[in-house]
Structure 1
Amino acid sequence: MLKRMAGVTLIELVIGIVVLAISLTIVTSVLGPLAIKSVDPWHQVRAAELGQSLMNEILAKSFDEQSSRSGGLLRCNEAGASACTASISLGPDSETRAQFDDVDDFHNLDLSGNAINNIFGDDARMENIYRAYRVQVQVSYDSVLTKRIVIRITTPTGDVVEFAAIKGNW
């Protein structure tokens, strides 16, 4: 009597390989986009750090070029005081960023790559962290006594994180 040998036929082997290939294709097509999106929270945290740091720097400056930096009693645009900077004149007053002394000096600031650095120009520490980011700042009058500051941080994935604050003339 001949014993029947146990084994796998060629057809069964080919069907097993096809089923394995289909299941691996489905798994990788589902996990691929998740891997790309998993870096988004990391970029958003970095953008939040950068935006908050820059906003703190801007809000620490005086309201206007004509404002008293020693805590005077008169504010610009008050009777007996100088007029505040006109809307069309917002922007740096022939100063470098390290010399910005009032809020509107930051108007139209647009930095990317290695140009993103802190107030002291210490870019060696930050150049690799924010290499693919972009920072844009807009300053405008919200009212006679307030300026609106909007900071837009664009992450390497193209997401835009926006920060806004009001600086008062008081």
Structure 2
Amino acid sequence: MLVTKQRGVTLLELVIGITVLAVALTLITAVLSPLFVRSTDPWHQVRAAELGHSLMNEILARSFDEQSDRSGGFLRCDEIALGAAPCTAEANFGPDAGETRLSFNDVDDFHGFGAEGADILTNILDDALSEAYRNYSAAVTVRYAGADFGLAQRQLKRIELVITTPTNSSIAFSAYKGNW
């Protein structure tokens, strides 16, 4: 009878092999995991751009100031010598008493918009967008900026909009609205 020698792995060799494999997999996933997180950034940036563009269009569709003539008149606010009312003081920017987003009528009504949190993300019909833009937030500031271009200070308003994505990257938008 012929006896053949069996070959196999000892328990010690098996434990060492599993340990080496575990260390190798841990190192590989530690190196690749930041890439997985960053792989969603372009998608979030596109979503933030959509949201920012939509909100900025909504803001720019409003008139320059509360005192602006919305019926197409020739006077603009701050033309006091011609009988026009003064433009709103920058300290008074923000929604007027009783105004909601649906009734905002000038760009400075949006000043401070977004400070309430992500629940304010709605479309222009006030339909909630919280599911579509979960963990996104928006912040709007408005200020006079005519002096930036050598004009009378209250002839231009700068609207600054910052959209923050779920990965905490911020995308800034800005536009000017003129008192023409």
- TM-score normalised over the length of structure 1: 0.88
Q: CA RMSD in A?
A: 1.8
Shift of 1:10: 4.1
CA distance in 2, matches of 1:96, 1:14: 67
Paired residue for 2:123? 118
Question: Which residue type is aligned with residue 115 of structure 1?
Answer: I
Paired residue for 1:131? 134
Shift of 1:2: 5.4
Paired residue for 2:95? 92
Paired residue for 2:151? none
CA distance in 2, matches of 1:115, 1:131: 11
Paired residue for 2:9? 8
Give 1:1-170 correspondences, 5 Å limit: 3-78=4-79, 79-80=81-82, 81-94=84-97, 95-110=99-114, 111-123=116-128, 126-143=129-146, 144-170=154-180
- Which 5+ residue runs of structure 1 have no aligned equivalent? none
Shift of 1:63: 0.5
Shift of 1:148: 0.5
CA distance in 2, matches of 1:47, 1:148: 20
Question: Which residue type is aligned with residue 117 of structure 2?
Answer: S
CA distance in 2, matches of 1:89, 1:158: 30
Aligned residue-pair number = 168
- TM-score normalised over the length of structure 2: 0.84
Structure 1 window deviating more from structure 2 (17-26 vs 135-144): it is: 17-26
Contact 1:141 1:148 in 2 (8 A): yes
CA distance in 2, matches of 1:46, 1:139: 23
CA distance in 2, matches of 1:90, 1:11: 74
Contact 2:118 2:138 in 1 (8 A): no
- Which 5+ residue runs of structure 2 have no aligned equivalent? 147-153
CA distance in 2, matches of 1:89, 1:11: 77
CA distance in 1, matches of 2:96, 2:19: 70
Shift of 1:4: 4.1
Partner deviation per Cα, 1:38-69 (whole Å, 9 max, x = no partner): 22222222211111111000111110111111
